[in-house]
C-alpha cells in the first residue's frame, strides 16, 4: 500500500518507520521539509518526502500525525480527500494534559468527520505510544500489542485492519466511529499511566482472549 503521513514528529516518524518496515511505500509531508527529509533518510528509500498538496493523490490511506488542533487544517492541505481513507490518531488533550477537551457524548474523531464529510475517517493508533510503534508490537512470549480501530466505512476499516496487521500489531475492531468516545478516554488513561503514574511510554493496552482449553480447565 501507499501510506501518506502528515507530520514528522514523534508519531509521524515512528509510523513512517514501522509502515516502511512492513513493506509499504510512505509519502511523508511536514511543515518543516528539512525535518521530514531527515526522518526519511534515517529510514530508507521507501519513505519519500512530498509537498503537502501531493499526499492524498497517490495514497491509499492518509494518516494525520499532527496535534489535534492542527488536524483539520493539515488534512485540508493534503489534497482531495473525497472517498479517501483517513486515520485520525489524535488524543484531544487539554493544554495542561489533565484530561480530554472533547467527550463523552461525542469524540474528536466524530467532530473531525463532520468537518471532512467526504473522507472515510477511521480512529486508530491513539492508544499506541510512539515508542511502542518504533520498537514494534512484540512484548515477549505470545503477547503482541493491540491497535484498536473504529469507523463507519467497512472498506476503509478493512484497509486499516490490513495495515495494522502488516505492521505486526493485533488489529482490534472496536466498532463504529462513535466508539472513538471510548478509545479517546483509553488513550488518556494510557497517557496517565505512562507519564503521571510514571510507567513510561513502553506500555500498551491490549485485549486478551483465552484460546487454550487447557488454560480454561486449569482456571476452573
Ligand atoms: N506521542 C505519542 O506517543 C502519541 C500516541 C498516540 C497518539 N498521539 C497523537 O499523535 C498526534 C501527534 O503527536 P506527536 O507526539 O507526534 O506530536 P509532535 O511530536 O509534536 O509532532 C507533531 C507534528 O505535526 C506537525 N504539524 C503541526 N501542524 C501541522 C500542519 N498544519 N501541517 C503539517 N504538519 C503539522 C508538526 O510540525 P512542526 O514540528 O514543524 O510544527 C510536528 O511534526 C497527536 O494528535 C497526538 O495526540 C501521540
Model pLDDT, residue 49 = 98
For 99-113, write each residue's pLDDT tens digit.
Answer: 999 998 999 999 999
Total of domains in the chain: 1
This prediction has a pTM of 0.95
At a CB cut-off of 8 Å and minimum separation 6, what does 135 contact? 202
For 43-57, write each residue's pLDDT tens digit.
Answer: 999 999 999 999 999
Structural domain including 199 reads 2-219
* Ligand 1 centre distance from Cα of residue 110 (Å): 19
Query: Pocket around ligand 1: residues whose beta carbon is below 6 Å from it?
Result: 6-12, 30-32, 65-68, 70, 73-74, 89-91, 125-126, 128-130
> CATH number for the domain including 6?
3.40.50.720
* Ligand 1 centre distance from Cα of residue 66 (Å): 3
Residue nearest to atom 5 of ligand 1 (CA): 129
Ligand 1 probe mutation, 67, 78, 184, most atoms within 8 A of CB: 67
Mean pLDDT of 167-184: 98
For 125-153, write each residue's pLDDT tens digit.
Answer: 999 999 999 999 999 988 999 999 999 99
Amino acid at each position: 500500500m501507499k501510506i501518506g503521513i502528515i507530520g514528522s514528529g514523534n508519531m509521524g516518524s515512528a509510523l513512517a518507520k514501522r509502515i516502511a518496515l512492513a513493506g509499504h511505500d510512505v509519502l511523508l509531508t511536514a511543515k518543516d521539509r528539512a525535518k521530514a527529509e531527515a526522518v526519511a533518510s534515517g529510514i530508507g528509500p521507501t519513505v519519500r518526502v512530498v509537498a503537502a498538496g501531493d499526499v492524498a493523490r497517490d495514497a491509499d490511506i492518509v494518516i494525520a500525525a499532527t496535534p489535534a488542533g492542527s488536524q483539520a487544517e493539515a488534512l485540508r492541505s493534503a489534497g482531495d480527500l473525497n472517498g479517501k481513507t483517513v486515520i485520525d490518531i489524535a488524543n484531544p488533550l487539554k493544554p495542561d494534559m489533565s484530561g480530554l477537551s472533547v467527550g463523552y457524548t461525542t469524540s474528536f474523531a466524530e467532530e473531525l468527520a463532520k468537518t471532512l464529510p467526504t473522507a472515510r475517517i477511521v480512529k486508530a493508533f491513539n492508544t499506541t505510544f510512539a515508542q511502542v510503534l518504533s520498537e514494534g508490537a512484540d512484548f515477549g512470549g505470545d503477547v503482541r500489542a493491540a491497535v484498536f480501530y473504529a469507523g463507519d466505512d467497512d472498506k476503509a476499516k478493512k484497509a486499516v485492519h490490513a495495515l495494522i496487521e502488516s505492521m505486526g500489531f493485533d488489529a482490534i475492531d472496536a466498532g463504529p466511529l462513535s466508539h472513538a468516545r471510548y478509545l479517546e478516554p483509553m488513550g488518556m488513561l494510557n497517557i496517565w499511566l505512562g507519564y503521571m503514574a510514571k510507567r513510561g511510554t513502553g506500555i500498551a493496552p491490549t485485549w486478551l482472549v483465552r484460546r487454550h482449553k487447557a488454560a480454561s480447565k486449569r482456571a476452573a
